[in-house]
Amino acid sequence: MNDESILRKAAAGIAAAIAARDVDTLSSALAPGFLHRGDGPSVVEKDAFLEAVRSIPGEIVFVRLERVDVDVAADAAMLTGVQHARVKVDGETVDDRRAFADFFVRHDGAWKLRAAVDLAAPLGD
């Protein structure tokens, strides 16, 4: 498998781990020093990110990647696209589409997620 295929599979695996609240699998996909950024100015480190995933309220119906673009340069790669999640909370269904930019690095021979940014996707995306 080439790097692009491996990275696409890694991204899909991360989405599946989030959907299952599988923080052990998710943790193993993260590189040392992992950081997450969202719409605001705050930066979330690995442990807080994993706790946020663990404590997502309601029933996670799915988390899937609707579009993924991959750019590889030696031992680093940028994946961009749109993530679509559906969650049921207190009888209400919430659909959330977020644009993402995930920065992967090759760490000990494997691709690991080093930094993730997600932002609310514009309507119609």
Q: Between the CA atoms of 56, 97, 18 and 67, what dihedral angle is there, to the nearest 10 degrees?
A: 180
Is residue 44 included in any domain, yes or no? yes
Average pLDDT over residues 98-113: 96
Per-residue pLDDT of 48-63, as tens digits, reads 999 999 999 999 999 9
The parent domain of residue 93 ranges over 3-120
Per-residue pLDDT of 72-81, as tens digits, reads 999 999 999 9
Are the C-beta atoms of residues 31 and 45 closer than 8 Å to each other? no
Is residue 104 included in any domain, yes or no? yes
pLDDT at 120: 84
The whole-angstrom separation of Cα 88 and Cα 24 is 23
Is residue 20 included in any domain, yes or no? yes
- Nearest alpha carbon to residue 25 among 10, 36, 38: 10
Q: Give the number of domains in the chain.
A: 1
